[in-house]
Structure 1
């Protein structure tokens, strides 16, 4: 008898589209920074880092709490309410004149994506049948493509109409929230079977060394990634590069990163999670440094290659954490997509201080060294058989039976 659940591609597609918009919004504030500097010359790199980290911390550090809650009991409404909440908060950022209010809006907006991600990833897991790894990689890739669209869409909008144009960006949030309200999966077993809190603690304790390594890798990688999104626009402006040209470079890095994230899932199936994570991160640093010290077409090509290498481990680290604590997949998603990223987002303030004290070029150089450090930390991860090898062993065992 075939007990496989059918894959619901239509609903996964809607969730992936919503993920793309959510992550486009997640890359919203860095695109405002050059315009904020132009309006206020006293807007320092440290202030920029605090603004971005306010969103990153609230969007990330509370995700494990949502993850645990959703392992216990799924809440369908979190996906559309979270999306709409973030759209409303961010749409107000361009019309406020107080830095404190701006940071407060950024922090409040982060709660929306913190609500969306664990619930949406759990829905994808439920709807994916026996194609969970591939479809989760696709779901993550859509989010990375959304990140890539941020500079391409938002910078021209702000360039043409000023920061007051943020108010119109509420429109796609409303449309996608309505789409999720009417078409996100209903009556799915999204929760209710997770173990008690004591069992969760036991699961975390038994996998603590492996999870610590994975979370550390993601935290350092997130610091590098958030640092690039925050500092590179300011660095490009200091090099007299136009906002449009700078947005094209950021889009290239993020677009190739999205493609790399999709390919990374497939490559890790053949060669193992740890090999992909360690190898791709270590090779990222020299690629970024070639971009930093060259000019023209060669520099642009290496920036694209570096972006692909940096983000090729994005979905792989999520899967690695879910394999470490298989009974708490939403919690694993919250820890990897949220908590670890939040730690990296908090540390970005230090990078901002480096930029203010020693210059933006020094800050960029430090950021480009971080992926190699993350790769070296990855050496402490547990080595598991590649997914293809595991499936082969299962097939042999079934054939013997």
Structure 2
């Protein structure tokens, strides 16, 4: 269990930098006067490269064991975000954020492979590994609020890269996990569509929810709290997902979570007053209950390509949604932020529809 916990803490250190991109959006808007569309472009820069690179890194880790990627990618992710705060031009800001996205992309497939080896396929242990990433997301807005556009944002990356080292010594030569069944690409594709829908919803909300809270009268601190709740609720959802799956099965739990998320996201967009934060928490749990379950489902649907499966279900879950952020930002600039967030209500419903007849993997 110790290697899994070290990987979980390292995962937290890396995913701080995914959460930091959204947490830096208010700074870029207020201090650099970027438009909604401009900050959406920054989110897109991190997401686009991460989305393209992550499956490629997954294919590489399916062919070769590359444990050295963990410390190197962790440092790259942290350095990119730290330098984006120092860059004065928009172009350099986009470049450094994109560099961080590549680092994050390189980290997830190999870390998911090592976590599968260390956990021996345990859904609960993989839930703890995924929980580390959720905690990193939750800490990101607090860290950014404390440090702002500061080079000290690189500190979690330094910690995470050091924590990787004992795991590499323990598991770096462990070899590959032999496939335990036949690949089921059709089911994996359907699962991946749901992953994309979830990502569009989550990244869209995380990019703009702090600004939306400010527009609704909660102030700058209220915006940071909204983003913190959105991320922290994911930690609860991830742990809850593993326990629910042990009782009712992974696919059933994932389907029902997406149905709950439709109502929760609608509450975030439309319900006034302090209940806004209640629906933010429900949205976070609804979108994160499937998080670790989708990782293990993907690996079981593609047992012969667990690196690729991990890169898509773990990495793209939190990156590909950034491709839609410029659309949301453009609508917000043209009409209003509330109108721009309305399409996000539909996305979990699409995920449910795609998964409505999905079956558990044949093991």
Which band: TM-score by shorter chain? Answer: over 0.9
Q: In 1, are the aligned partners of 2:134 and 2:234 still within 8 Å (CA)?
A: yes
How big is the shift at 1:219? 0.4
Q: In 2, are the aligned partners of 1:232 and 1:364 still within 8 Å (CA)?
A: no
- 2:140 matches 1:150: yes
How big is the shift at 1:22? 0.7
Shift of the 113–55 alpha-carbon distance from structure 1 to 2, 3 Å rule, reads same
Q: Does the residue aligned with 1:92 lie in a helix, a strand or coil?
A: helix
Q: Does the residue aligned with 1:312 lie in a helix, a strand or coil?
A: helix
Identify the residue that residue 168 of structure 2 maps to in structure 1: 184
CA distance in 2: counterparts of 1:180 and 1:40, whole angstroms: 36
- 2:232 matches 1:248: no
Of 123, 131, 141, the residue aligned with 1:133 is 123
How big is the shift at 1:55? 0.8
Identify the residue that residue 49 of structure 2 maps to in structure 1: 58
How big is the shift at 1:69? 1.4
CA distance in 1: counterparts of 2:267 and 2:159, whole angstroms: 42
How big is the shift at 1:249? 1.7
Please report the TM-score for the alignment, with normalisation by the length of structure 1.
Answer: 0.84
Within 5 Å, give how 1:321-336 maps onto structure 2. Answer: 321-336=298-313
Structure 1 unaligned segments of length 5 or more: list them: 1-8, 196-202, 391-401
Q: Deviations over 1:127-153 (max 9, x none)?
A: 223x62111111001111110111122
Q: In 1, are the aligned partners of 2:46 and 2:100 still within 8 Å (CA)?
A: yes
Shift of the 187–12 alpha-carbon distance from structure 1 to 2, 3 Å rule, reads closer
Identify the residue that residue 99 of structure 1 maps to in structure 2: 90
Of 361, 366, 371, the residue aligned with 2:338 is 361
- 2:333 matches 1:347: no
Within 5 Å, give how 1:1-400 maps onto structure 2. Answer: 9-41=1-33, 43-129=34-120, 132-158=122-148, 163=149, 166-186=150-170, 188-191=172-175, 207-339=184-316, 341-383=318-360
CA distance in 1: counterparts of 2:212 and 2:152, whole angstroms: 28
How big is the shift at 1:194? 7.2
CA distance in 1: counterparts of 2:117 and 2:178, whole angstroms: 14
Structure 2 unaligned segments of length 5 or more: list them: none
How big is the shift at 1:189? 4.2
Identify the residue that residue 396 of structure 1 maps to in structure 2: none
Q: In 2, are the aligned partners of 1:11 and 1:185 still within 8 Å (CA)?
A: no
CA distance in 1: counterparts of 2:231 and 2:248, whole angstroms: 24
Identify the residue that residue 393 of structure 1 maps to in structure 2: none
CA distance in 2: counterparts of 1:150 and 1:53, whole angstroms: 18
Shift of the 259–187 alpha-carbon distance from structure 1 to 2, 3 Å rule, reads closer
Please report the TM-score for the alignment, with normalisation by the length of structure 2.
Answer: 0.92
How big is the shift at 1:241? 3.0
CA distance in 2: counterparts of 1:318 and 1:188, whole angstroms: 21
CA distance in 1: counterparts of 2:361 and 2:5, whole angstroms: 30
CA distance in 2: counterparts of 1:340 and 1:145, whole angstroms: 16
CA distance in 2: counterparts of 1:318 and 1:125, whole angstroms: 10
